[in-house]
Structure 1
Amino acid sequence: MKYNSFSPDKLDFDPIENQKKKRGKKLANLKKNEILKEKGLHKDLSSSSLKIYGSEYFFNYELSWLKFNERVLAEALNPKNKLLERIKFIGIVCSNLDEFFQKRVGGLKRQQLAGVKTLSVDGMSASDQLKEIRQEVLKMIEAYRGCFFNDLVPAMAEKGIKIKAYSELTNYQKKVSDRFFQKQIYPIVTPLAVDESHPFPFISNQSLSFAVELENPRNKEKHFARIKIPANRPRLIQVHRRGNKIILVPIEDLIRVKIDQFFPGMKVISAHMFRVTRNASVEREEEEADDLLETIEDELRERKFSEIVRMELEADMPKHIKKYLLKNLNINWNDVYEMKGTIGLVDAMQISMLSGYPRLKSRSWTPVLHPALKHELDEEAPSFFKIIRDGDFMVHHPYHSFALTTQRFIDEAAKDPKVLAIKQTLYRTSKDSPLMHSLMNAAEEGKQVAVLVEIKARFDEERNITWAQKLENYGVHVAYGIPGLKIHTKVTMVVREEADGLRTYCHLGTGNYHPDTAQLYEDLGLFTCDEVIASDVTDIFNLLTGYAPDQTFEKLMVAPKHLRKQVTELIEFETKEAKEGRPARIIAKMNSMEDPMIIQKLYEASEAGVQIDLLVRGVCRLIPGKPGLSENIKVHSVIGRFLEHSRIFYFSHAEEHLYYIGSADWMHRNLDARVEALTPIEAPKLKKYLQFIISVYLRDNMQRWTLNEDGTYDKVPRPKGTRKVSTHKVLMNHTQDSESPIPMVG
């Protein structure tokens, strides 16, 4: 049996050959560093100050990430959670794995391909990490698929949600399915045969496909074909609904049953599903680029054809078909994950969104009006700018409405004739962002509008390029970022002409200006017209759009030039206090804790007696509770219905009680390779609010996990007879309580 093989030379662009040319090549940083020095953004970073190395000091980054996904999976495994919420978490686990393979595994494979011998800070080579990852992922696959098929599918059936094969349907339901196939599937599916005139087809990232083996009855010749399952049709087709009883048929089952219709005159021997994941970690040499926008567009094109880092397939696929796929897709057996039954459970998210089952979901949440805006519904409500002038206030999403705070701030600025200029950084936003339309309207009204669009935001590059071009068409001044750095800080400034002169109003946040994720991500944002902070924000924009090699900041801690040094000094201050017998305390909440030198400083602080609590949602490379190293450090992780995303940093600082919020984790990339800003929270009432929410996290006995010295996590138990403390429920109740004693206004 022979199938015509795909020939790489028939592609205009050959990613494999392109990668081979780059093997062993060292990135030239000279030009990049010259650019950054000229703009005042260069940060000399030496690892010579790192005195520790190896697995006794650091957890592995990739394996720590997989531990995070295990905690997400635990939400699906938890029978106390609502049924459709558990199914949602199955979808999240699979979506997380998709991104992990594209970014993290893809990066390791690039290292392996380039022959990089450097070990990770915990002492593992790229090959070692890939082996460990495979073992952990195999266990995770078994766990989430066992949960879905053995627990959740039968539980759904009991509640009236049944997933059936075509053969199990009634005659009427089959007619409904047949009609859907003829009208909605058959016209858009294109079977791709492989023969002398048809090379092996390109398989796009994360697409579901059938590998079809055919036989010509006339001459008994075997042929291969691929059918791509259309991604623009629902994965589960509704063929019956009455009340709360629903019957769903997987689209792949319907196509499999009807597959002979695509090949009249041929005999279908077998049809089995497979799915590929491609590397999104492609090499970018932006420091050598004349046009950064063109470089990113080239990268997007390269990514479409990048190497495959994972293939999922049905375990009962014939072995010779598996070998054929691996050969033509240039895949190693170690990158194949075989599964019994259907694949691609990321689409389980579709089930979780079924309407009509409120009892199977968590109670719905509608963000509330912020207390500072309590006069919002009055006919003579004060302007947003008047409210900010009355005192700093802080919003906490998704508990407070994004539309009535951050969105309103931009809307009002766009319409206000006294506003002269609006400037904003944009890392990610929605497909049809109201904020972007407000900025375009402001430019049409003659205001000076400048937006720093980060076109290197992973997986949002194409959307950001589109927005940048739309903004430019409306007269907005658009900057596309800086070679060698990402602009990750989330800041907006509005300059307004008032009776006593110009005044600058600012929003500094921890999350993106994204109205959709603001409903799901937990984030903080400060509104202020503090003159010093406003001056610092103005300097950030001048720094990013111009040249300011000696730029300093009075209140904000700004990366990459200053933030690492300032954070290090704050940790060292607590260390000194502890050594001198005075109270010393550090609490830090972030997404990831990775930077080796910051970890080293925290170890030193712990040995001196500083009490340290780290609230880390995801990756944590620091080892807590180790005798003689980190006995005074505890690491917590809160996982639940909202994605913890805010960054909060507290230092007791000789009882000054310093609080900062911002978009920077304690990671190398945030401290040294991104433009970031942490802003101090100075109003006593706002400090009290931050103290309150931190205390809720640290008291949580429903959603909180603690990290052990051996790298495992334990769910914090609730002692019998004690009150339940669930972070997200407590904060939802708090924001709904108009009589709450904890303020959110300075």
Structure 2
Amino acid sequence: MPKTKKPSVDINLSDPQYYFNRELSWLEFNHRVLTEAFDSRTPLLERLKFLAIFSSNLDEFFMVRVAGLKQQVEAKVNKLTPDGRRPQEQLDAISDRLRPMVEQQHQQFQQVIKPLLAKEGIYILDYIDLNQEQRVYLQNYFEEQIFPVLTPLAVDPSHPFPYISNLSLNLAVVVKDPETNEELFARVKVPKVLPRFVPLPENLQVYSKTQATRWTGVPLEQVIAHNLESLFPGMNIQEYYPFRITRNADLAVEEDEADDLLLAIEQELRKRRIGGSVVRLELQAATPENVRNMLMGEMGLADMDVYELEGLLGLGDLMCFLGLPLPELKDAPWTPVVPPRFRRIGEAENDPLSPDADEYTDLFSTIRKHDLLLHHPYHSFSATVQRFITQAAHDPDVLAIKMTLYRTSGDSPIVNALIAAAGNGKQVAVLVELKARFDEENNINWARKLEKAGVHVVYGLVGLKTHTKVVMVVRREGEHMRRYVHIGTGNYNPKTARLYTDLGLLSCREELGADLTDLFNFLTGYSRQRSYRKLLIAPVNLRDRIIALIRREIEHRQNGSHARIVAKMNALVDPQIIATLYEASQAGVQIDLIVRGICCLRPGVEGVSENIRVISVVGRFLEHSRIYYFHNNGQEEVFIGSADWMPRNLDRRVEAIAPVEDPEIAQDLFEILGIMLSDNRQAWELQSDGTYIQRHPPEGTPQQSSQQILMDIALNS
């Protein structure tokens, strides 16, 4: 039974001791990603993948979060975070926590993963270990393929220190002029236009009597380093040291001053390519003090900004090895399933996505019968969401399509369907969020293409990102107009729909359609809509409604009834919601939180949060869906949507959370939550000290991987 304990003295729920730091909590999430690379149960190439993801995640963390903290320090901002830290204190704590993680990552690659790869016939060699024949081949390869691309840049009084681009891998080269005996410095950029790892031909690969060789090669920077005399003829090469930098890459757009948001963001993207200030320098531990100090001085860095590493830099490039045709070293392939209620369409002899398919109107009639729940990547995105939009684009009875696009793929069939819809004379309105971080350029390109096709394109609201994932289709049916809606938790992106777990609701409930009509009017016109029939909309009513739902559970518990909250999200940061959850725990409400990434709530604190349990699930798919369940004295309510419980989602973004009112679908969501809470393979439990402990099945009991169970359910449906 949940513990109901009224504190003997009032507890200040704003006390910093009850909150974890946002940045440090994110580092713990990335550590859980890294731990997947250490786990022998993870297939070998997938372990390599998690090493790469850890690095790529860190790159973005430095470009945005660390860069932002450094800007606050420079601006002398001393506002305390909810956990009581100033910006410089956060930077210090990040450095202290991160350095051992990065060291673990590089040790794992060098001492564990590389030998295991070699046992499987995959040899990532060092140049110094090559035989003469291999070196001759790579010298010829260098002269033919690499040398023409390189540009050595001298640094001396007549050549200022060159600009170093963001995330670039470079060689710091020291040469000596034999005529003057003077030591000179130069920088050589390792070009990104060439593969990071150079393969050797079959006849020069490592030979093994026990294992067939699958791949043999060396890092590109080592090929360049051992052929530097071609770049500096007549000079004596003294030494060379790889280094890599990270710059501030966040956009700063003053929307109130921007007459044309699209042009303003294009200008900021050009600045990003040029790059902001350097926030991190990675170099090999063997780099001598004089070279280290020179690089630090030229880029305005302190010791805390320098990460000295053993072995290769830029391990994010290891992702390329996932392309090797070795299925036995990867997760078993997963093909998303066509859900049962879509299956007749999906199995039609003609192309199920073709506008000419005989049965394409069936999807609308199916939605009229009952709401439909989609769960990606277990369910096929192309046969469901993409199908819905494609049918709408070609259905002669559809008059209008409205949707939001936050992130989509570079070859989006959905965007092509919207263009086709406009060509078919339908009213098509699309809100393209230009401020979707690191997708700005892609979204600008699609916005222009949509506008040329006659689609009404809106770029969002001043001061707000439009993060909501919604589609509305207006269809004439006899003498009536009916609105069909899709409300989801994930982006309309067929590529990420195969990698991220997300939910979507297809419905033609009148109140949902009316609410989305009001929401689109808010997004595209002038509207101060403050009330919605069913939807919880940020920044209008979502925060107040969530707090009210938590407080309703408190009231039920105080009245002697059972009370429970289960919430699944990507991040829990908002101090007001955390404090309200603490109040619920104090009242005896049982609370289970499934938070993939950042969690600033401290569970298990006596008198504050002993009724709160937090788990994180990290697996082959990125957990991205949001589900919010409230017991409500037996009248259970469950919601899905686009918003996490973070200040940015509640206050600075347009978000939509929808109630799921179909009892059968609600039961499906309860089952998903139950499966996640029972996970003993990929689940980690957050402790009251901020550490996470990975669950393991008790001896003699089966392993329960929630993602594997959900794949099995989809296959058997």
TM-score band (shorter)? Answer: over 0.9
Matched residues in 1 for 2:529 and 2:189: separation?
Answer: 56
Alpha-carbon distance change, 244 to 359 in structure 1, aligned in 2, over 3 angstroms? farther
Per the alignment, residue 325 of structure 1 pairs with 295
Q: Deviations over 1:386-435 (max 9, x none)?
A: 22122110111111111111111111111222221111101111112111
TM-score, normalising length: structure 1: 0.90
**Could you tell me how far apart the structure 2 residues matched to 1:267 and 1:471 are?**
57
SS of the residue aligned with 1:525?
A: strand
Deviation at 1:197, TM superposition (A): 4.2
1:378-527 to 2 correspondences below 5 Å: 378=348, 380-381=358-359, 383=361, 384-527=363-506
Q: Does 1:372 align with 2:333?
A: no
Q: CA deviation at 1:301?
A: 3.0
Conserved 8 A contact 2:534-2:659: yes
The residue type equivalent to 2:20 in the other structure is: F
Partner SS for 1:213: strand
Q: Would you say the 8 A contact 1:681–1:687 is kept in 2?
A: yes
Q: Which of residues 669, 673, 680 is equivalent to 1:694?
A: 673
Cα distance in structure 2, aligned partners of 1:358 and 1:289: 50
Where does residue 730 of structure 1 map in the other structure?
Answer: 709
Map 1:26-175 to 2 at 5 A: 52-175=13-136
Aligned to 2:228: 259
| Aligned counterparts of 2:137 and 2:195: Cα–Cα separation in 1 | 15
* 1:204 partnered with 2:148: no
Equivalent pair of 1:282/1:306 in contact (CA under 8 Å): no
**What is residue 354 of structure 2 aligned with on the other side?**
none
Deviations 1:643-675 (A, max 9, x none): 000000000112111010001001111001100
The verdict on how the C-alpha distance between 1:368 and 1:213 changes in structure 2, with shifts beyond 3 A counting, is same
Aligned-partner Cα distance in 1 for 2:156–2:712: 64
Residue in structure 2 matching 1:315, options 271, 285, 296: 285
Amino acid at match of 2:395: D
- Which secondary structure state, in structure 2, belongs to the residue aligned with residue 497 of structure 1? strand
Amino acid at match of 1:363: A
- Following the alignment from structure 2 to structure 1, what is the Cα–Cα distance between the partners of residues 256 and 573? 25
Residue segments in structure 2 that go unaligned for 5+ positions in a row: 1-10, 206-211, 350-357
Cα deviation, residue 51, structure 1: 5.7
Partner of 2:275: 305
Contact kept? 1:165, 1:253, Cα under 8 Å? yes
Structure 2 letter corresponding to 1:660: F
The whole-number CA distance in structure 2 between the counterparts of 1:180 and 1:523 is 45
In percent, how many aligned pairs have the same letter?
50
1:261–1:634 CA distance, 2 compared to 1 (3 A): same
User: d(CA) in 1 for partners of 2:175 and 2:130?
Assistant: 27
Q: Deviations over 1:201-259 (max 9, x none)?
A: 11111010111112211112332211111112111111044854321111111111111
Distance change in 2, residues 1:705/1:388 (3 Å): same
Q: Does the 8 A contact of 1:539 with 1:551 survive in 2? A: no
How far off its partner does 1:723 sit? 2.0
CA contact (8 A) 2:530 2:540 kept: no
Task: Give a deviation string over 1:324-378, Cα, whole Å, max 9, x none.
Answer: 11111122221000112221111111123322x2211110111111111121223
8 Å contact from structure 1 (residues 591, 645) kept in 2: yes
Selected match of 2:250 from 271, 281, 284:
281
CA–CA separation in structure 2 for the residues paired with 1:238 and 1:93: 24
> Is 2:272 the partner of 1:294?
no
- Matched residue type, 1:232: V
TM-score by length of 2: 0.94
**Aligned equivalent of 2:317:** 347
Deviation digits for residues 408-465 of structure 1 (CA, Å, limit 9, x no counterpart): 1111111222221111101111112111111112112221111101111111111111
* Cα deviation, residue 590, structure 1: 0.1
Once the two structures are overlaid, the 10-residue window that deviates more, 298-307 or 661-670, is 298-307
Q: CA deviation at 1:320?
A: 1.3
State how 1:184-223 maps to structure 2 within 5 Å: 184-223=145-184
Cα contact 2:619–2:682 (8 A) shared by 1: yes
Aligned to 1:227: 188
- Distance, in Å, in 2 between the alignment partners of 1:351 and 1:247 is 11
Output the amino acid matched with 1:687. Answer: A
Aligned mates of 1:670, 1:187 — CA distance in 2: 48
Distance 1:136 1:365, change over 3 A: same
Q: Quick one: distance in 2 between partners of 1:493 and 1:403? A: 18
1: CA distance, partners of 2:63 / 2:489:
25
Deviations 1:276-307 (A, max 9, x none): 11112354322333222233223223333311
Alpha-carbon RMSD:
1.5
Q: Which residue of 2 aligns with 1:40?
A: none
Distance 2:137 2:532 in 1: 66
In the aligned structure 2, how far is the partner of 1:678 from the partner of 1:340? 47
1:506-549 deviations in Å (ceiling 9; x for gaps) = 11110001111111000001111111101111111100111111
Moved more, 261-270 or 600-609: 261-270
Secondary structure class of the residue paired with 2:16: coil
What is the identity, as a one-letter code, of the residue corresponding to 2:248? Answer: N
- 2:527 partner SS: coil
